[in-house]
C-alpha cells in the first residue's frame, strides 16, 4: 500500500467498522450470557436494539467492503498472495468452528 497512500483511509475505515462490529457482538454475547430472571423484567428491548444495530452496521459494512475494499484488494495483491490469504483464512475459520454453533449461545453453564 506504500504506492497507494490515498487508499490507507479506506483501510482505516474498514478496520474501524470491524472493531465496531466486534464490539456489538461482544455486547450481544454479554447480554445473552448474563440474562437471568432478574433481568427478565427489563424485557428483550436491550438485546433487540443491539441486534438491530448489529444488522444495520454489518449490512452497511459489507456493502462498503464489497464496493470499495475488495476492488482495492483485488487490484493490489497478486493471485499467489490471494491464494495464500484464502488458505490461511480457511484454516482460521475451520479452527474457529469449534467455538460457534448453538452451544456458544447457551445461557446455562
The DSSP result for 26-65, as a single string, is HHHHHHHHH--HHHHTT-SHHHHHHHHHHHHHHHHHHHHI
Name the 3-class secondary structure at 36.
Answer: coil
Number of neighbours of residue 27 by Cβ within 10 angstroms: 17
Q: Which residue has the cell 453453564?
A: 109
Split into its structural domains, the chain has a count of 1
pLDDT in tens, the chain (109 residues): 667 777 888 989 999 999 999 999 998 888 877 765 455 555 556 778 888 999 999 999 999 999 999 888 888 889 999 899 888 888 887 765 555 444 443 333 3
Contact call for residues 109 and 36 (beta carbons, < 8 A): no
**Domain containing 92: what range?**
5-105
Amino acid at each position: 500500500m506504500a504506492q497507494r497512500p490515498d487508499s490507507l483511509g479506506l483501510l482505516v475505515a474498514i478496520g474501524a467498522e470491524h472493531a465496531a462490529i466486534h464490539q456489538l457482538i461482544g455486547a450481544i454475547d454479554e447480554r445473552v450470557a448474563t440474562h437471568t430472571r432478574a433481568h427478565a423484567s427489563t424485557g428483550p428491548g436491550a438485546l433487540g436494539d443491539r441486534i438491530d444495530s448489529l444488522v444495520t452496521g454489518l449490512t452497511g459494512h459489507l456493502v462498503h467492503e464489497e464496493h470499495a475494499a475488495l476492488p482495492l484488494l483485488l487490484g493490489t495483491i497478486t493471485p499467489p498472495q490471494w491464494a495464500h490469504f484464502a488458505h490461511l483464512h480457511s484454516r482460521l475459520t475451520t479452527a474457529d468452528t469449534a467455538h460457534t454453533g448453538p452451544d456458544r449461545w447457551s445461557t446455562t453453564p
